[in-house]
Amino acid sequence: EVAENGLKAVEAFTLSTQGYFDAILMDIRMPIMDGLTAARAIWKLKKKSAQSIPIIAMSANAFDEDIEKSKAGMNAHLAKPIEPELLYATLEEYLNW
């Protein structure tokens, strides 16, 4: 699933059936609602999986400050361009594959 902004991401997760999403890859900078705000909104939902779904930040900003900022609202941070091996390792860490 692809959402063009943070608000659409929150809506997609909210309307999905329980267990539909295993994880969320969230861009930090998006129009309408940024990724950090969207992640916090998802985690506040009353949906059973909302508090446990891993949300992984993706950002072109790879400075330590940006990484710490994203981790304050998400589980992990991946710098763009995304390295597939690191993406898979991060997903394994949070999904117990």
- Convert the pLDDT of each residue in 57-71 to its tens digit: 988 766 666 666 666
Report pTM: 0.86
- Pairs from 33-36 (Cβ < 8 Å, separation ≥ 24): 33/5, 33/6, 33/7, 33/9, 34/6, 35/6, 35/9, 35/59, 35/70, 35/73, 35/74, 36/69, 36/70, 36/72, 36/73, 36/74
pLDDT for residue 14 is more than 90: yes
